[in-house]
Every structure is written in C-alpha cells, then in structure tokens.
Amino acid sequence: MPSFHLSAWLLLASLLSHVLANPVTSLDPRHKKHHDCTKPKVFIISMFPPEADVWYGIPEFDLLARNITVPGLSPLYPDAHCTSNGEVCQLVTGESEINAATTITSLVFSPLFDLTTTYFLIGGIAGISPEVATLGSVTFARYAVQVALQYEFDAREIPDNFTTGYVPQGSTSPTEYPQSIYGTEVFEVNEPLRQLALSYARTATLNDSAAAIAYRANYAKSPLYTAGSQAPGVVACDVATSDVYYSGALLSEAFANTTKLFTNGSGLYCTTAQEDNATLEAMLRADLNNRTDFSRIIIMRTASDFDRPFPGEPATVNLFYADQGGFVPALQNIYLAGIKVVEGILGGWDTTYAKGVNATNYIGDIFGSLGGKPDFGPGSEFNNNPVVLKKRGMRRGRRMGVALARK
C-alpha cells in the first residue's frame, strides 16, 4: 500500500476515533446532561391559549423569561415557558385527550427537565353542574373520571328500562360496573395536597361579571340548582373527562351517575373537561419510570359555563346562544386562585413541599399500578404492589383491557 494511502487511512482512523469518543449528538439540546436540566418546583398545565395568557405579564413572576422548545409538544405550542430561575414553568397542551396525552408524555420524558420533585397544577376552565357550584367557581378534584369511555346507544333507541344511552363497557345495564376495564377510567390524586390547595385558593378574592350574575339567577327557579344561583366560591368536587363537549340535563345526570358508579359512590361530579384523564395517564406512566411523582398533582378547574340549562331553557340555547358571562371570570380566577396555590408551594418549599405531602388516601389508576389498593373499581391488578415494568405484560386470555368475570 503506498504511503499516501496509509496516511489517509491513519487520518481517517483518528477522525473516527474522535467521533466515537465525542458523538455529534452531544451538541443537540435534546441530549443535554442532567445538570443542564430545568428543575421546576411548580409546573402549570394550560390546555389552550386563553388559560395560559392569564399567567403572562403578572407581577409575581415572569413566565416568559425562558422559552424552552420541547420535541413532541404541539406544533401550535412548541415551547415550555419558565421563570429565569426555573422554579415555575408552564405550557399549553392543546385541547382534547389526544393532544393532552401527547404533549404531557413528551414533556415528562424530555431530558430537558427534571420533574421528579415538581408539583403540577392543572389549571383550566370547565363546564359546571349547577347542583354543586356556579359560574366563576374554582374547583379542586380528587377524582378524574373518563365518563365517555362506555358503550353508547342513540337515546331514541334505548330500552324503556334504560335512563341513558351510555352503558359501561362489558356490561349490559347503565347501572352495572364496567366489566371491561382499560385502566384510564378513574384516577385519584393526593387528598391532603388537595386540601392544602383548597386552603390557599380560599384566600383569593374571585372575579365575577354582571352577565354571570344575571344568568345564574335563572337557576334559582329550581331548589336542585341552589348552588348554581349563588356567588362563585372554592369547591371540592370532581372532574369528568370527555372529548365530546356535551350539554343538557339528561347527559349531565347520566355522567354524574357514571362518576358515582366508577368511584364506588365516592366521587362528586361537578366539572366537565376534555383532557384530565389523558394528562394523568401520561403522568402516571412517567411516575412508573421515575420521571415524576404522582402524589404532586393538583387538578384545578374554574367554571366557565353550566353543563345544563335552567328550567324552561332549551339545551341548545344554553350551549350555543346564551350569554352566560362565565368565560372571562373563569379565566381570571385561574390566576387569582392559582397564584395563591403556587405561592403557597414556593413559600412552604423548605418546610413542607420539598420532601412531599404524604398521601393518606390511595393515589393512582384503577389498576393499582403505583401500588396500594384502589378504593374504587375491582381492586388492584398487581396484588397491591407497584408495577415492575420489565415484568408487566398482557395476561393470557385477557382481551379488551381487563375483562372481569360477570356476576
């Protein structure tokens, strides 16, 4: 081999050795080392821009000081926003279950963040049941229930003994517990943490509007809707997740019953949203991979509109045409109540929140994936132990989720 060729081969070998020792991917921000990660104390989850905008330009902190592009986030909302010290961050998922699941999965598995001790504040607007609360109210949930994960019949074709066209999967009656379970039907979050969030939010002065005051007065016509006719407040009640944006007394009553059924009577249906169960499933899977702490999740929804009309009002008018007046106050109250929660966590970080708030209740999904015995559903699928991921798999003979034996 001529010496020129030998020199070329030696140079090539040297270059190859250098590349292998210093891979070019180290220049890619997606491959930052752990010490370069942002480690927030609080991460605010917004679902669409109006919910996010209330956090920008506030006196307490500047969320737009740092903008971090995270691969996998929505093309419309590709950045997470953080304060200059990285203590508080926020992003927009995009509306609906698919957008929420995809965005949150991308966030929690991103090497750009260390979220192992982060508190997540899900802060969005929602529909509200006038049986429980009113326009502008701020709610904090213990349970999130995926109410539309059921069989559905057109209500014009249901049997006389059915009260609704929704039937739990694997069952043959609207009142029978689902016999085919997918795992995302119900999530339960940290109750002591919820109580702390409630206590912080109750120190806020909430916003209202003249239009909301006038519209909610119509609900005083029914004793059932007394709560709906009152001024806004801070309420402990639970959230229903459905991609379908529904309206009307019949559907709302059906999903209130679903909430009670799926939570073994513990849940109190009040708010209607499109994302929360999807967000929680992504966070639970991240916890199973030591990326997040599921005990550090707060679900806050503010009431922008009633889920059903007042007596004598058509359901279509309630949804399409009525000036309910709740949208703007609900958005403003995300900030007014939410900032109290954020400040409570930051202010009590060293004494309380760094080490975590011990959950005295069960937390997690209907399977018991994080360990412990669910206080809803058929019980743990994993003998009350946390999931061991490398051993987890489909069990022989199981189809359509977890198929339960018929009674």
Is 295 part of any domain? yes
Whether residue 108 is contained in a domain is answered as: yes
DSSP bridge pairs for 180: 403
Q: Model pTM?
A: 0.88
CATH number, domain with residue 256: 3.40.50.1580
The upper half-sphere exposure of residue 26, i.e. CA atoms within 13 Å in the direction of its Cβ, equals 6
Average pLDDT for 155-169: 96
Domain-embedded: residue 157: no
Q: Which residues contact 352 (CB under 8 A, 6 or more apart)?
A: none
Q: Do residues 68 and 90 make contact, with C-beta atoms less than 8 angstroms apart?
A: no
Predicted pLDDT at 168: 97
pLDDT tens sequence across 275-305: 999 999 999 999 999 999 999 999 999 999 9
Using the predicted structure, report yes or no on whether residue 102 has a pLDDT greater than 90.
Answer: yes
Does some domain include residue 29? no
256, part of any domain = yes
Structurally, how many domains does the chain consist of?
1
- pLDDT tens for 210-220 read 999 999 999 99
HSE at residue 301, side-chain half, CA atoms within 13 A, is: 30
Q: Is the pLDDT of residue 7 over 70?
A: no
Answer yes or no: are the C-beta atoms of 147 and 261 closer than 8 Å.
Answer: no
> Does residue 278 lie in a domain region?
yes
Dihedral sign of CA atoms 105, 110, 113, 115 in order: positive
Residue 387 inside a domain? The answer is yes
Query: Could you tell me if residue 132 is inside a domain?
Result: yes
8 A C-beta contact, residue 92 and residue 110: no
Which 3 state secondary structure label does DSSP give 234? strand
Q: Look up the domain containing 196 and give its range.
A: 39-150+176-392
